[in-house]
Chains A and B, each alone.
Chain A
Amino acid sequence: MSMSVLSVSRLTKRFGPPTGGFTAVNEISFEMKEGEVLGLLGPNGAGKTTTIQMLLGITTPTEGTITYFGRDFFRNKPDCLQRINYTSAFNTLQGRTTVWENLLVFSNLYQISDPEKKIMELIEYFEMSDLLHKRYWDLSAGQRTRTNFMKALLNDPQIILMDEPTASLDPDIADKTLTLIEQLRKDRKLSILFTSHNMPEVTRICDRVIFLDHGKIVAHDTPLGLTKRFQSAELKLTFDEKKDAIEEYLKKEKQAFRFDGGHVVYITTQETDIPKLIFDLKGLGMWITDIEVKKPTLEDVFLKIARGKSHVFQKN
């Protein structure tokens, strides 16, 4: 069984006075295993960024503990920081200096024994050799992302915190970035704490996800497990005729439905009821020309939480 590389216990951050202040993060506890990609999700203001800031030591928690590799973070900060790193779409490197200069500075900050060799290894891996002497400001968004990743890998970290690493990237570069993350994880057995508002990419790369809402963990499962807790699916049927018969049947079955014109009906139902519905409607003599089942996605889970219906996902 993989060991835990990060353990967070009852982590809390309150801003403002004890009474009348604002609790950004409210007693959250979770663990991240070695080699795991853990998604930290939630709507804006849910507490993700504050959590990451506390995990990096740039915001002081009000209460709770953070343990990296079995050691208390705040008592062993330099040692812990030496073994983790961070990359974000919202932080950049020094824009006035070149890629090489930036990497040289950070490799010395992380006390890399042979900085030039390390940088060249990363440059080759990321195919950036022709951009080495270009100023960071002059790089494209995709090139900056790759440079940020190089910086984040300089110290061979065991954990990388990634705060929306693909935000503001075009779909092609975002896809390449995700492929890169998958590759890095495979090659280096990295543990990654990943935040994003893009649910398909979370589904693609995260082993587990934690949903935060108003500073609390409201759901914690695998992406598949979370979507399975979503009871209903949407069935779209396109038919030739007999709209009235269909309507009568669906009312009798107490199904939620809506027609779109005279030949399309959307039925929101339990996923397990779909075969029976189709069978029954066929039995009415209905000629179905197209069937489309929209299964719940992480996006639906996100929307439920963002719209204040997080209780739906709580495990009994």
Chain B
Amino acid sequence: MSFKRIKAILMHEFFITKHSYEVINDIGIYPLWSIIVFGYLTIYLAGVTGSVIAHYVLVGMILWQIINITQYSIAVGVLWDVWSRNLTNIFISPISYTEYLLSYTISGAIKAFIVIVLGSFLSLLIFKFNILSLGIVNLTLYFLNLAFFAFSFGIIILGLVFRFGTKIQAFAWGLITFFQPLMAVIYPVSILPKPLQTLAYLFPPTYVFEATRASLSDPKIQWSYSVIAFFLNIVFCIFAIAFFNFMFKKSKEVGQFAKLEG
């Protein structure tokens, strides 16, 4: 593991983000805008249902950005180099794919952290909701679990992109939203139909969002939810790494990796 190579990819990510309005929009403006929209929905719902339930929506939307931004950073990060025909140049350097994935995870987590801080500040300023009311330890556990899940999800998408090329590139920014309803981001799992509830509890973020809702009523540390989410994350991560390894190996065997750049 080389710190210098990880630093190289972090710099690469920073330079691309700095020069790309699309990236700034996708991981900055759009998430903050969503938080604002859902914040106003919260104000409306607070009048109808009471503030705790209304805050489910706002806090769910703020924390959802951790998954959204981190997985986007991992999965879309590689596409910038595919589109620029630069991916070969990176992979013929001595970088290992562990270093590569770790770099994108760090980069995604940093971006997610910045957006969460900004989103939290906006929600305090506009909607008078202080996310710190969930408790610092809780927030840290939620952040780590959600970022962990996003890493696993991101590398599954990355494996698919390496194996099947840009024809499935829309998965990089779109597939996560397909699973969003199952993770009970802004509503309790209990409102889902029974079969979907079982499915929902297979995803680590479901426990995090349930814990978040519990924290809104009682800010004590939600260890049980966080520990279950963490263990599920480990299982999910092992599967994701094995899947990525298989796809990466297969991609190089069938020549797809070299054809990624067209």
Contact = CB atoms under 8 A, between A and B. Distances in A.
A54 to B, nearest CB: 9
Nearest to B91: A58
Given A86-B88, A96-B84, A60 B2 contact: no
Contact of B16 (A57, A79, A96, A108): A96
Nearest to B258: A53
Interface in B149-206: none
B252 A60 contact: yes
Interface string B9-32: 101100110011000000000000
B84 A109 contact: no
Interface of B: 2, 4-5, 7-9, 11-12, 15-16, 19-20, 80-81, 84-86, 88-96, 249, 252-255, 257-258, 261
Given A91-B88, A108-B8, A59 B19 contact: no
Contacts of B11: 101, 104-105, 108
A299 to B, nearest CB: 28
Given A91-B85, A106-B93, A108-B8, 15 more contacts: A56-B88, A56-B92, A58-B88, A58-B91, A60-B252, A60-B253, A78-B94, A79-B94, A86-B89, A86-B92, A90-B261, A95-B84, A107-B8, A108-B5, A111-B94
B133 to A, nearest CB: 40
19 contacts: A49-B258, A59-B257, A60-B253, A77-B94, A78-B96, A81-B93, A84-B92, A86-B88, A91-B89, A96-B15, A96-B16, A97-B15, A97-B19, A101-B15, A106-B8, A109-B9, A109-B93, A109-B94, A109-B95
A93 B88 CA distance: 10
Interface string A71-86: 0000001110110111
A135 interface: yes
Contact of A91 (B9, B20, B86): B86
A50 interface: yes
Given A96-B84, A97-B15, A105 B254 contact: no
Interface string A29-72: 00000000000000000000110010011111000000000000
A108 B92 contact: no
Interface residues of A, number: 40
Nearest to A135: B19
Contact of B20 (A58, A88, A96, A109): A96
A86 B255 CA distance: 18
A92 B86 contact: yes
Nearest to A16: B254
Given A91-B89, A93-B89, A96-B84, A59 B12 contact: no
Interface string A245-281: 0000000000000000000000000000000000000
A78 B88 CA distance: 15
Secondary structure call for the A interface: mixed
Nearest to A137: B84
Nearest to B249: A60
Contacts of A287: none
A109 B258 contact: no
A126 interface: no
B253 to A, nearest CB: 5
A109 B90 contact: yes
A24 B255 CA distance: 11
Nearest to A57: B92
Nearest to A15: B255
Interface in A85-142: 85-86, 88, 90-98, 101, 104-111, 135
Contacts of A101: 11, 15
Q: Which of A108, A110, A135 has the most CB of B within 10 A?
A: A108
A81 B94 CA distance: 5
B5 A109 contact: yes
A94 B84 contact: yes
A304 to B, nearest CB: 29
Q: 4 tightest CB-CB pairs across the interface, nearest first? A: A108-B8, A78-B94, A109-B93, A97-B15
A58 B84 contact: no
A151 interface: yes
B249 A59 contact: no
Contacts of B257: 58-59
Given A92-B86, A94-B81, A96-B80, A111 B5 contact: yes
Given A91-B85, A92-B85, A109-B94, A59 B20 contact: no
Contacts of B92: 56-58, 81, 84-86
Given A59-B258, A81-B93, A96-B16, A111 B4 contact: yes
